[in-house]
Structure formats: structure tokens, C-alpha cells
Structure 1
Amino acid sequence: MLKKLHIAVFIAFLSISTAYGQYSKQLLSLESKIESGNHEEVLKRLNTLDTSKFTLYNKALYLYLKAKCYDFRNSEDLAFKNFILSKKKFIAIDSIDRAMDINLDIAFLLYAQENSGNNYSKYINEYLNYAKNTNNNLKLARGYGNLAMLKIDEGKYSESKDYFHEALFYVKKTDNKNVESALNNNLANLYNEYLHQPDSALYYLKKDLLYVKDRGTLDDYYMNYLNQSSSYYYKKEYKTSIEYLKKADSLPINNYVVKSKQYLYENFQTNYDSLKDYKNAYKYALLVKKFADSANVIEQNIAINDIQTKYQTREKELENEVLKGKVKTNKALVYIVVGLLIASLIIGFLIVKNARRREHISKQEKLIEQQKLEKALKEYELSSIDLMLEGQEKERQRIANDLHDNLGSMLATLKINFEHLRLRKNELQEEENKLYDRTDELIEEAYQKVRRLAHAKNAGVFANEGLIPTIRKMAEKISIPGKLSIEVMAVGFNKRLENTIEIAIFRMVQELSTNIIKHSHATEASIQLTNHDENINIIIEDNGVGFPPAKTHTSDGMGLNTIRKKVEQLGGTFTIDSTPGKGTTIIIDLPI
């Protein structure tokens, strides 16, 4: 499943901005800058303000703006703390409408935490109850939209779809295109990730794109492209999916940059992995790790849990104060009990956290050691294959040189001597002449056989003729008229390859051709070689008796297992398709 982007689909946005006179113009100006994506600049300005003379209204808005800035920069722990404080301030000044809006910001923040276990449903339900009581269409749309997100988290996808449609019903009454856009994106995400209906998802995303083109921001384009990419991924149109990811990656977004990039690169990795483009998949896997480390998800979750625990504990303390306010002795007792309980919870939490952290570190260390061992064994195995192949190649060259230089020279000398005797054959008797003629023929035949064997064994033939001509000659020599026909087809070999690559390919083809002669009982075979886009594809087929693919060991030559490992060492793939009685097809793909 593709990684879904929580931070852009939750229906929460800046909603505090109102032109009431009780708010500072300076704060309202900073709020508008947050909406345009300048949250880093706004946070710096906020930190320089003197809040000691602020009214309660301005303090509430100040805390809210800080929370939004921290949220956009992925500092979720600080954002959560300031949202809670801001909500309390708005409640204190009887601005319940604004406090309820903050509920969605808090729910949104908690929902976005991976595996956090945070309970955000109570904030959504509180908001929705307020929307129903006030009969506010916009709030009902946002409330039902966020309730739909909650149902997704609970695995109730059909209910989620119904709530989304209910939310769309209310938002159409308001003509609020911003919320309608968020709902279309969320509904598309539901169809993509959980209902597995990518065509339905694309329908809502195309509708949303019309709004984005009309008045959307770069972040809106980013979200739409990312979700369209998910749709094409589930349609198995991976190249189209990657094109939309590239469009999204080209946009200079301002909000939630770290998490947005992390999820984007995870989707790149998944698509390239599906295309078996492991080079690019590995590239984006490294980028995912880089941005995941920046997000500090685990530390953020721990900090948020700590803050939420303290906030909930404080709420319970206040409730106890109200109930026990007139009994000082009991109140003191309650404080002591609560204090001990908090201390116990904190100690227990720290013990569990440290134990889990030690366990996690131990598992990571064992995994790293195992990976190092596997890597060392793999390198040793590949090194052994190289040494074996190098030894075979040297032995072939030594035998070829010995045949050509020593035995060949001796046979050549012997032939000259017999030529000399031939000149004197008139002096010999008739029977002796026949004997010399027969011996001369045998010497000529032996000399030609030694010469052919020397050239066949000597890899230096590539220096003169090249890979394809050598394979064609080999196929011509081992073909048996009337019994075995071997056809060679080559495409794209317009220039020579590196000599070591040519030798490696030739030895593989030579071994596989030898196996056809020895074991297949085939009457027809073909060797197809294609050089395209810096990749070489080799297909060797025969119409022989075939064999079970599991039985791939041979006792002589390179052997199929050795060929497979050599191909893997060169970064390629080796595939065998064989069924007893139906022939064999071997496919080798090599990068160059």
C-alpha cells in the first residue's frame, strides 16, 4: 500500500481570522502571513513580541498562531502544547466557537502521528456536537468530514464514505470551495487506499483540480498530484504514477515540508520497486530515511503523550478541586494521592520506555550484525566465483598456447619432413608410397584439429572478431546438419563491449549451448542477444526434453548455479523457464 499523507487530507485550516476590534492588527497581519506559507518568518516575529501587556483575546490568538507555526514545521509537541493553552484562553473569554475550531487542529495533529495511540476522537465528537447545536452548515461539513476520517482509522470504510457524502451535502450549502476541496481529496484517498477503486478516486481528484487551478495554492497542487499518483499506482500504471510524483516534487511547498517529502519519496520508492527499477528504488529509499530521521516521529510522539498526560491529569485535579473545595483536609489528601499516582505513572512510563528502547537497540544491533555477516559471505562467494572463472580462463589460454606453440609446431615440422619424403617417393616402392600418402593425410588432419581447438579455447579471439561473430562461429561449428540447428540473432551491437564483459557473456552462452548438446536432445535452438538502453538481454531457447527448474546443478563446466551467481555479481537477473517434455528457455538481463 502506498503511504497516505495525513497532514494534507485532514479537514483543518486557519479559522480564527476575524476582523474583530479586540485583536491586535499586528497579530492579524501575522496570521495572514501564516496562511500564505511564511510560518518560519512569523514564528521569529512572534518570539520577539512582549506579551506581558496583551489582552486575554490577544494572548489566546498569540498562542494559537505559535501552535500553527510549530505544526507547519513538524514540531508537533510544541504545537500540541500551544493549542491546548490557546483553547483554554478562548474558553476563558467565552469564545466557544473559536475553541471548538481548535479542537479540529488538535485532532488533526494527533491523527497525523504514526502509531501514537493518541485519542483524537473526543475532540472531533465535541466539535460535531457543537456544530449540531449551533446548526452551522460549515462546521457540520467539517465535523462530518473529520468523523469520516475517524471511521477510516477504525476500519469502517462504508460508514466513512457515507459521512464524506454528508459533509459534501452541507458544504455545498456554504459555497466554501476550500473545505470542498479537502473533502474531495479525502474521499479520493478513501477510494484509493481502502476501497480499492482508483477510478472513483480519480473522478473526485479531477473535480478538485478544477478548484485548484482556479484559486488553489502550490500546496493544493502538491496534494492533488500526490493523490492522483496513488490512483495510477493502484491501476498498475506505474510510469504515469511517477510522472505525477515528479510534478509534485517540482513544487516549492511551504507547509509540512519534512513529512510531505518523506511520504512523496516513499511513493517514488514503491513505484520504482514495482517497475523492478531497483537502482532508483534504492535512491529514494535513502531519501526516505533522511527525511524520516528529520521528522523525529518517535520523539515527537513521546513528547505529545507526555504533554497530553499532564493536561489530562491537570483537568482531573481541577475537577477534584471543585468537588472537594470546601474540605481542605480531603483536598490535600487528593493532591497527595494524585501526586503519587502521577509519580508512579511517570516512573512506570520511563521504565517501560527504557526497556523498549533497549530491546529495540538490541534488535537493531543483531540485525546489523546479521546483515554484515550476510554481506561478507556474499562477497566471499562472488570473489570465489571470480577466482574460479579467472582460473578457467587462464587454463583455457594455457592449453590453447601449448597446443598452438608446442604440439602445433611439432606437427608442422613433421609435415615438412613428410613433404621432403614425398619428393623422393619416386624412389620408393608402390606400397611404401601409399603408406607415406596416408601418413601425410593423417598429419594434416591432426594439425588442423589442433589449430581449431587452440582457437576455440583461446579467449583472445575477441580481440580480433568481437562477441557476436565469435558466437555465430561457435553456433555454426556445434550445429549438426539434420540433427541440431542453432540460430543466432543479434540486435543493437553496433560497437564493441568491454573485453571482460564480452568474455563473460561468451562463456555463459558457450556453457548453455554445450548443455543443449549434452542434455536437451533438441533439434532446434536459438540464441537471441539484444543491446538496448545500456542493457543486454540474452534469450537461449531449445525444443528439447526440458528439466525441473529446481535441478540446476551440473558436474562440469561453469554450471547453471555458477552462471546465475556470475550474473547476479554483474548486477543482472537469471531466469529459467523449463518444463519436462516442453523445452527450456533461459533469460539473462545484464546492465552495462
Structure 2
Amino acid sequence: MTISLKSYALPAGMLIALFCCLFARSQNIPDSLLNKLNTAPNDSVKARTLLDIGETIEATYTDKSLGYYYEALILSKKIKNNSLLISSWNDVGVCYIELNKMDSALTAFEQAIIYTRLEKNPLREAKVLVNMGNVYLHKKDRVKAIEYYLQSARLWETCADKNNLAGLYANITMLLYEQGEYRKAVEYGTRGYSLAMRIGDDFSGTNALLNLANAYYGLAQFDKAYETLQKAIPMAKRGGDIEQVSTAYDDLGGYFLQKKEYQPALTNFQESYRYSLQLANKFHLCEISSKLATIYHNLNEPDKALKFISQAEKLANEVGARANLNEIYRIRAEIEQSAGNYRQASEYFSKALTLSDSLFKASTSEKVAEVEAQYQNEKKQSEIELLEKDRLAQSLSLKQKSTLNYILTGLLTALLLAGFLGYRNLHHRQLLAKQQEELHKEQILSLEKDKQLVALDSMLKGQEDERSRLAKDLHDGLGGLLSGVKFSLSNMKSNMIITPENMAVFERSLDMIDTSISELRRVAHNMMPEMLTKYGLDEAVKEYCNTINSTRLLSLKYQSVGMDVRLENSTEIIIYRIVQELVNNAMKHARASEVFVQLIKEGPRLNVVVEDNGIGFDSSTMGNNQGAGLVNVKSRVDYLKGQLDIHTAPGKGTLVNIEFNI
């Protein structure tokens, strides 16, 4: 009896869970995620929340999770977030694998690969390549699976993060062994074991050793296989995975059985059986019971042999393992024969023969169909060649008759070709002239646009300089003068005798001067806020919102993300003016009671969002009826080369989203 070692690898489904960073699954969506989704702005936070929800329900509601993934995908495209696009396409692909739609899964992973390369993120690309290998593993195409796993491994080796790479090496080892490429299997098994030792990954290290033993077995290096399995057992126990421990003892028992050393084989098979009982895996128990029966048969203990072979037969019938059942029938026949039970032995030999014939027919039916298809193809090819010979014969008989026709046709064709070439040349010149004219117009438009930008730049700088000058003059000049007048009048008050009626008038005059000074300071502050020049855009907008809130004209909420680093001074001023103008529009024209202002900076991208609950307006008329405020906002956005989006409808408020690439 020939005993081979078991291949041991992560199942395809487990690989997906390992490399996709999926969250723990539960049947219901947590309230925290639903609240986060309802309150999240229409940006990257919302897209990430949609992905989290999809991943939470994927195991139980796969179709619904796919809907969440596509919603996240659409939003990620809208906000042009490549990192979220990678996650979205990857999750879509994993979902399609679970729905057994492998071609759709491949399409999704190919899209994810595009964005990993745009992001120049080799680690994420390697993980997506693993998932593509998993697809081909599901499609029973080991060659393609190995190809994508190797691509992933080569990329992963360049990354600092080596987590899970050892597990990938172990699976590559298993697939190479199954393809009969034993030397390459040894190479990757050794890599996997060494890496697992460096990062302290006992689970992947055990996988690598079990598959490495297989590769040594394939190369007939039995001593190395034995040494490798001896290392695997303590490592598997240390890792605490019962299935790995059972497999290691099973493989070691197979090694001794191959050498006909039945007592150590029995010891190891018994250990494997003990761990398999803990797993309650009927397929494993069936295999190990069959091997224990073989050992007891060779040790001349027929009662124990019959006990275990009967158990193996029962388990094989329960799990539908027909190939195992064939081997079980043969072993049972040998045991019955040795015990002198010739009738039972004959029955089991007949069962084994019948089942072998059935398995042979099943395994050869595909080969017969393949040979038949090849025969039909060859037959069709022969018919095609025969028809081709007949056609050539007819062609040769007509060749002489048609020579003159060919000559005349050739002359006519030459004339037509010459005319066509002349026409094409003329048309090409006209087209080239037209293209040059259009290019010239584009250059003129570009120059005019540059001129307009220069003019706009000068105008904006002039406005801000004039605002700054006026603010300084008002604050330092007129403000100082009013303060002096107040001081003088206050001194006069103590040196003059005034009637009570006149004293009331005098006090009101002083109050009016105080009010004038406060109003003057407010106007000067609005023209050039001190907070903006000293502390930057974030603090200036925050103070502006607090000032508006203090008037109680409306409720103004402000939120900022990633605004720790200051922007260029002129850029901060322009964005501050945009926020001022939009808030002013919400107060004056929208009659809003609540306004929400948000600044979000992520890398070079800055988003400005101003949303109100006002009366809104018809966006279709926006191009014809733009007020001065909106025109000013648009000109400032154009100056910073930003993108302005306005979402509104009558009675539904207004949302303004502006995106800059700072």
C-alpha cells in the first residue's frame, strides 16, 4: 500500500478573508454604523461607512452587501479618492466570489489593480493579486492561480509589511507540489518557513513545513521529509491549531507506514486519530480509521483492524467519499481473507472491483469526450483541406481565361487609386489647414484666458490691499480720533456743571460715541480680520461663525478636518471671502435658520462645504440669474482653479461644495 503525505494549505475562502481585511460579520447592521451613515457628509467618511456596513452583512446578506459596495464605489469615483476606489472594487470582487460569479470578480479585481498602480501601493496590489489567484483556484485552474500568487509574492517581497506573506508562500508550495514542480515547491516552502520564523507566525510556519515535507517526498528525499515533519509537530502544538497537529501526526505515520515500521506508524496514527476526534471532522476520521485498520492488519490484530475498517466504511458512506470507499473495500477484503472469512472477502473484492470500474468510467468519460472532439475536429479539418484542393483545381482551370480580365481590372484599379490618392492628399491638406486654424484659435483663447486671470489676480489683490488699507485707516485714524473725542468729553464732564436734563443728553452722546467705535472696529475687522493674518484660515472662519452666532440671526455650525497646516496667505484670504459671501447669501437671500460650514483638507485636496436649510431656488435658472455674490464666489473659485457644485431646489435648502487642489 502506498501512503502519500497530505498537502496542507489555507482554503480559498480563508485566503479571501485573510487578505481582504474583512470585518467581523454579524447578521444585523450595528446602530453605530447606521448613525454614522446618517450623519456622515457626502465624502470619504460616508464611503468608508458604506464599505463597513457591506463587510458587516456580507456573510449573511451577500446581495445586499454588494449594493452597499457599489454605492461606496460611485461616491468614491465622485470624490476621486483612489484609496477608497481600491477598497470598493476589491470588496465587490470578494462579494462576487461568494456569489460564485468568477468572471465578474476578475473584472472587479482588474479595476482595483489599476488604482493600486495609480496610488503606487505595491502592498495593496499584492493583496488584490492574491484574490485573483483565489478566483482561478475556484475555477480549478492551478496554473493561473500559481501565476497570480507568484506575482503577488514578488511584489510583497518589496514591502516592509511581511504579514501573511508566509501563508502565501505555503499555498504556492502546495500548488507547485500538486503540479509536480517539486524543486520550486522546496524553494518556496523554505522561504515560507524562514519568514514565518522571523515574524513569529507559527500557523504559517507549520503550513510551510507540512507542504515542504510533501515536496521532499516528491523528490524521494525521505530523510529530509522526516526531519521536516519532526519540526512541524511541536510548532503545530505551540500554535494550537488542532487540524495542523492531526495532519502532522498523520503525515509522520504515513512516513513510517511507507517504511513498513508499523509500531511507530501506529503511535503516530493514534495521535492523529485522537486530535481528529476533537475536530469531529468525519472526512479526516474516515481517512485515519482506514490507516489504523491497515496498521492493525499488518500487526496481525484482526479484531481491531475490522473495528476501524468498519468505522471507516460507515464514515465514507456518510460523507460520500467514493474514492476512499474503493480503498476501504479492498483493505476490508484483505482483512476478511486473513481472518478466514472468504465469503465476506469475496463480497468486498467484488464491491471494490465494481466501484473501481465505476470510478474508471467516470474518470475516463471526459477523456473519451475529449478524444471524440479531437477526432471530429480532425475530420472537419480533412474535409476543409479536400474542399480547398477542389477550389484550387477550379481556380487553376479558370486562371488563363481570366488573365486579360485581371490586366484590365488592374489598370482600372490603378487609375482609381491614383484619383483616390489625389483626392485624399487634397482632403488631408484641407484638414491640416483647418486643424492649424483651430489650434491658432485655441492659442488665442488661452492667451485671452491668461490675460483674464492676470486681470482677475490684479483685481483681487487690489481689492484686498484696499480693504487692508481702509481697515487700517479706519482703525488707526478715525478710531483713534473718536477715542480722543470720547476722552475729551469725559474730562469735560468732570469739570463742568450741567443740569440733569443736559447730563442725560451728554451721557447718550458718550454712548453713541462708544457704539460708533464698536461699529467702526467691526467694519475694520470684516474688511481684514486680524485672526486671519495672525492665526490662519481655520481660526478666522471659526471666529467669524462665533460672531454670527452671537447675533442670534441664525444657528451657524462649523467643522474642520485636517486644517492644522496653514495655506498660502493669498489663498486663505480668497477662501475666507468665499465663506463670507456664501454665509451672507444664506442670511440675506435664502432666509435660512441653520447653516453648516465645513473645511476638509486631505493631502493636496481641500473641500469647502456650505449647506443651509433656506428656501433654495431653481438650479435650472442659475445660469441666467446669477447675483453679484454668486458671481464673486465663482470668479474666486475659478482663480484658484477649483470646482464649484451647487445642489438646490425650491423649498429644499442649498448645498454648495467647492473642491480645490491646493
Q: TM-score, normalised by structure 1?
A: 0.44
Higher helix share: 2
Asked which structure has the greater RCO (Cα within 8 Å, sep 6+), the reply is 1
TM-score (norm 2): 0.39
